[in-house]
Chains A and B, each alone.
Chain A
Amino acid sequence: MDSAKIETGCQLFKRIEKRPNLGYMKFLGDQPNPRDFIQITGEAGSGKTLLITDLIAQCILPKSLNYNGSCAIFINTDHHFSVLKLYALMKECLKDTDVDINEVIEESLSRLIIMNCYSNEQLKITIMNLEKILNENVLINFVAVDSLSAYFWCDQEDVKHFNTASYYVRGLTMSLRNVYGNRNVMTAFTDNLENPLNAGVEYTMFLKKGDAGKHEMTIHNSKIGTDFIRHYNIGNCVEFVD
């Protein structure tokens, strides 16, 4: 892309600082760095879409209620995400507060941009177009994609040699990094890969369906090389049971 422009160190610092950092994320048990990538992977029905919906809620709910109050972009390729579900999930998060729930949720929803993609080409062009949207809104610091592997089989038609799904997903994460440049934007994406990506992501959340609705989440932090396991239920939101 042709975004290279000359700016002074002060200008660069000012531009980067404008985009607020995301705070503590309960699912990671950690405060991610501004440009980290979170991969959410696991079998069908393990709760990937619900988890990414929950991450979006944590991001857009207001700062005054100990959330992030940021702006976010959601790229919808699998079309399992439902804005009605997001509304219900935020309602669940706010049930113990004494605020006007509908007003807070509507205000939070206005900070989210949804983009529906219907083809591999449209997804790739949408990723390229993110640069323009990020420049227009300096408060966007979170991009969520559900899922990055949705058009893998379409891509096989366009390439000369058969690639693996991991290779395809890694290519898209690299395109996202190129588009962000120096901007403080964190990314969470889901995929349907059988094995988690070994490189290019800072956190991997591997979801595994368990018996009697008790599922297992392995969170791998590749920066320090640690794994920790948590168990969860799928209800109106992702509820940890340990």
Chain B
Amino acid sequence: MTQDPSQLKGKSLPPPRETSGAEALKALVTGFATTLKHLGRRPITEQYPEEKRELPARSRARIILTRDPDGAERCVACYLCSAVCPVSCISMQSIEGQGGRRMAAWFRINFGRCIYCGLCEEACPTSAIQLTPDYEHCQRAILKSVYEKEDLLVDHCGKDPDYNFYRHAGVATEGLDKGRHEKEAPPVNVRSNMP
């Protein structure tokens, strides 16, 4: 006789419902009928290499680095994706690029380790790193699974067609000085007493 765990806590659960013989028989018959019916149905198996399924745009597979609408690299090498990556498959080095922009000197994803969890995409503040539905990139040589920046970088905006981080950031970069970003007032003239 197994001990009812609910009694250990001093609380009693409702007693298990007794099943009558007729009910049990009905359940059995329903079960066998169901499986028997299945025999007549057409199998739903998709035969992978011959039939390839179109995955939804938001499916999580191969990772890309997108560009902003102006064609510049979106990645600012902020290290958030590598920090959040549960398997530590992302590594990078940030440097100061042209015009004072922070960018990745190198950016590496080891797809041999990647578990396609999508946390990097969620963490990315600039919509740079995105997962795509392209799931067919198995490699026989392990080093071929190590993608460098040039392998990851694409020439489009991915799923976020409009966002350009540097138009919002508020840091002065080449061609976009202080006070000219979205929702910014012109720089304060500290030598003036006028409010």
On whether the two chains bind one another, the answer is: no
Chain B contacts to A: CB under 8 angstroms: none
